[in-house]
Chain A
């Protein structure tokens, strides 16, 4: 096995934007937009990396790509090992009871019958549902729901775990419990990608951090350095006046638009259909 878990080489992800319908622009071409632009990095096995970035900077896109759900458009990506995105509230059916939902989500995640039976006890214990186990999930509080969802996802046992804003739900106690569980996984030598807005959590949990801004990789390095720099940037951004902010954002946006993209005929037909 190679000595790295994830390797990105000049990876780009392009999204299509619907053409503006403001009546001014008459161009018939669907614009293309860099969600991620020319990103390169290597993550060794067993490392815990935090990903920082403001809203719309491409964090979620990156997590989808890392999880193997979304495909990249340019560059090369190598992933050694099984990866999984911890998706909290997906796959829970509100009509069914907690116990049934363990089966549902387990099956959606592709576990076989035996494995689901194996994990059931662990999930029940971790989620602390008590008697609510036999109640339909629609009656759960949002915290309970995320506890259930999170626990099922964790029992997948992948080599690379991607956590996207997962701990922002639920109370402090549960967040701590999740962190403890993830620390356990860390000690087992799993690679963890941790996407969060909370600087203290990232500082406390990760060894390395990555800062993405406007779809580009700004900085990748030791957690404290990157966090400091990111905090500075956020302060700088917040200090801008409204107009300056708008100008700044527009410039950032303009940089991400693709100039004269090469579009195949097939793609062009799709564009027309999708309008």
Chain B
């Protein structure tokens, strides 16, 4: 177990420049593909947000959530979903999409999930700039709590890489993995209280059980964190149990991911 963790960490840290270069040029080539290039990185989430705002904000007229206008409340949580969601879907494809490279070169396969996450990180920064401008426009003042974003973003990155390591290897074993993940993404979006507030669930009976399950969702922990930084200004330690659970869960994912990577490191080429 320790050997595999050491192996993966070493390979990743020895190849930081490689990770940077691969993700940079992937991004560049994506942009060259279309005439408007980087514009789509903004337009795509913007259109999605408008859809959700139209349905939940206007039609179902949520009004204020926890004393905050719905659009501010939704956006501050949604922004990290737009980072995690492509990380999960593309992460599952991380190794398979590089089949050509790993069959022709000696290549450290375990860095591939990190390259995918790096690439999405750029998009995330673009969105964050837009969000901050929007919130300032809405009259939210910057505060010291915004620095907590660094912690929550770090948590999201570690979570995304750990999960991608598992899914990308499983995807090499069975190509069905990615199809399953793609099919479940929408489900995951609605099961995570991003578009609706968890307070709509009552604290009794079966709804209490659902609440517990929701709170255990690691993505929800990060979503809550982002909201706190922007709107509610709560400290990192506000969610004691959720934080502990998140890190234990992520660590287990990471260990499983490392073990799989290590076990199959020379077998990928025979799995295609």
Contact = CB atoms under 8 A, between A and B. Distances in A.
Given A95-B32, A100-B28, A107-B22, A112 B101 contact: no
Contact of B271 (A96, A108, A274): A274
B105 A103 contact: no
Given A108-B105, A136-B32, A16 B270 contact: yes
A96 B22 contact: no
A95 B15 CA distance: 24
A142 interface: no
Contact of B32 (A15, A70, A96, A113): A96
Contacts of A84: 106
Contact of B105 (A94, A109, A270): A109
A270 B103 contact: no
Interface string B172-197: 01100000000000000000000000
B29 A95 contact: yes
A68 interface: yes
A112 B17 contact: yes
Contacts of A91: 100-101, 104-105
A90 B21 contact: no
Contacts of A136: 32
Contacts of A16: 270
Contacts of B22: 104, 107-108
B270 A69 contact: no
Count class of interface residues, chain A: 20 to 34
A85 interface: yes
B19 to A, nearest CB: 9
A108 B107 contact: yes
A176 interface: no
A98 to B, nearest CB: 13
Contacts of B174: 273-274
B266 interface: yes
Contacts of A273: 173-174
B25 interface: yes
A190 B28 CA distance: 37
Nearest to B106: A68
Contacts of B33: 95
A6 interface: no
A64 interface: yes
Contacts of B104: 69, 85, 87, 90-91
A198 interface: no
A19 to B, nearest CB: 17
Contacts of A210: none
Nearest to A164: B104
A70 B270 CA distance: 8
Nearest to A275: B174
A95 to B, nearest CB: 4
Contacts of B267: 71
Contacts of B108: 110
Contacts of B15: 110
A93 interface: yes
A36 interface: no
B211 interface: no
Interface in A129-186: 136
B105 A87 contact: yes
A258 to B, nearest CB: 15
B18 interface: yes
A91 B21 CA distance: 12
A70 B173 contact: no
A106 B21 CA distance: 9
Contacts of B32: 95-96, 136
12 contacts: A64-B103, A67-B106, A69-B269, A85-B106, A87-B105, A91-B101, A93-B29, A103-B21, A107-B21, A112-B17, A136-B32, A273-B174
Interface of A: 15-16, 64, 67-71, 84-85, 87, 90-91, 93-96, 100, 103-104, 106-110, 112-113, 136, 270, 273-274
Closest 10 A/B residue pairs (Cβ):
A107-B21, A87-B104, A95-B29, A71-B266, A90-B104, A95-B32, A104-B25, A93-B29, A107-B18, A68-B106
Interface of B: 15, 17-18, 21-22, 25-26, 28-30, 32-33, 100-108, 173-174, 266-267, 269-271
Given A64-B269, A91-B104, A96-B25, 8 more contacts: A70-B266, A85-B104, A87-B105, A90-B104, A93-B29, A96-B29, A104-B25, A108-B105
